[in-house]
A and B are shown apart, each in its own frame.
Chain A
Amino acid sequence: MAQVAVTADPLDLDALTRDMTAGAAGDGAVATFTGLVRDHNQGRKVRFLEYEAYEPLAVRALRRIVDEVGATWPDVRLGLRHRIGRLEIGEASIIIVAVSPHRADAFAACRYAIERVKQIVPIWKREHFEGGEVWLEGATADPDDEASRLAAERIACA
């Protein structure tokens, strides 16, 4: 299983965790994050979400996040998969697995990874709610913006 992926298939956290921990006797901690589609947002009743990606660049940005984690937490291994297409309420949109000898690094790397996904990965969600639909827009993606990267690191290490 690839360390990072953008896929239209349902996400399988158990499979990714198994893959990331296979044969690693020196690991003492696994931290995971799962992002779910929820039924409400900003006072709107959400019916479902549609995710769109610029796939080759999204995969590249995910790999960059893996590299950044490796630079800050050299003992951590990171697996990260983002789903695209139509997702129903309660389905997983993203799964992240961070494996490390110690829990502090695993938690920090996992949190850092999701913050960076929201900053630099070219994926967009279109919210279909009761009464309409809207493209959600968050951060202007700029991987070289060191201030954003440090903000993600601060949140991760808080």
Chain B
Amino acid sequence: MRVTVRLFARLRDLAGAGELVRDVPEQATVQTVWNVLTTEMPSLREYERTMSVAVNADYSRMAAAVHDGDEVAFLPPVSGG
């Protein structure tokens, strides 16, 4: 199945793109998507312990299941205001 990955702020800069499409196995979780990304781009790993994740524009967890067509976002620590 296929998911859209969204990356923001410095994560986007490190990846060189804010939106990527990736094929992941059935039964994949957010963690699976992250593993696919960081295998490709190991520099993203520095955010593993500080980032937040979202599925279809709602906060989620690494263990959450993803489905075909989902949008999975990885978010560095926020700095609004």
Contacts and interface: CB of A to CB of B under 8 A. Distances in A.
Interface of A: 35, 51-54, 56-58, 60, 82, 93-94, 114, 117-126, 135-144
Given A93-B81, A118-B80, A140 B50 contact: yes
Which one of A117, A118, A124, A139 has the highest number of Cβ atoms from chain B below 10 Å of its Cβ?
A: A124
Given A52-B9, A124-B9, A138 B78 contact: yes
Contacts, number: 89
**Chain A interface mostly:** mixed
A140 B62 CA distance: 14
Given A60-B58, A124-B9, A142-B59, A54 B73 contact: yes
Given A52-B8, A135-B10, A141 B52 contact: yes
Contacts of B52: 122, 140-142
Contacts of B3: none
Contacts of A139: 77-78
Given A52-B9, A140-B52, A142-B52, A124 B78 contact: yes
